[in-house]
Amino acid sequence: MIQITNDTIDYAALTERVRSEQAGAVVLFLGTVREMTDGRKTTALDYEAFPQMAEAKFKELLDEARGRWPIVNAAIVHRLGRLELGDVSVAVAVSTPHRQQAFEAGRHLIDRLKEVVPIWKKENWADGTTEWVHPGTANGSAECGIRNAE
């Protein structure tokens, strides 16, 4: 299941959705809006996407993960628009027969999502300034330091 939405992510429902009698393990990852980044205070994040391509990339990531781990069910939901502190921006839920597979697949999905899916966040700093986050560019604060190269 893949979804790009402007609404609050119901991660409890998403977790229920991937649960299965075939799976002994369920891992849920949530990305949430953090207040402090390198000593600077954030008031909100604005997310935007290239929706058609983002959906295509989500599908590719799920196919890639299904080829590497025995995934029973997997779901990715990303939220767009204005998100306040603590809001959930992304949820990745995976179920597999055993826990190691679920942890690995979940981690792989969120790591690859941050590298290849065309979604961007803009910081709204407490001092009133705004700044697009574009890792690897001159003034694009690198949240994870990963350069995008596909």
Nearer to another protein, 4 or 23 (CB): 4
In the complex with another protein, the residue whose CB is nearer, 38 or 138, is 138
Residues in contact with another protein by CB under 8 A are 31, 47-50, 52-54, 56-57, 78, 89-90, 110, 113-122, 132-138, 140, 143, 147-148, 150
Q: CB of 143: closest distance to another protein in angstroms?
A: 6
Kindly state the smallest distance separating residue 123's Cβ from another protein, in Å.
10
Kindly state the DSSP code that residue 35 receives in the 8-state scheme.
S
Nearer residue to another protein within complex by CB, 71 or 121? 121
Spatial contact of 99 and 26, defined as CB atoms under 8 Å apart: no
Beta partners for residue 75, in sequence order: 93
In terms of CB distance, is 64 or 143 closer to another protein? 143
Half-sphere exposure of 15 (CA within 13 A, CB side): 9
Residues pairing with 6 in the sheet: none
Our measurement of the distance from residue 10's CA atom to the centroid of its chain's CA atoms, rounded to an integer in Å, reads 14
Shortest distance in whole angstroms from residue 122 CB to another protein: 7
Identify the CA nearest to 104 among candidates 148, 79, 74.
74
**How remote is the C-alpha of 95 from its chain's centroid?**
17
Q: How far is the CB of 112 from another protein (least distance, A)?
A: 10
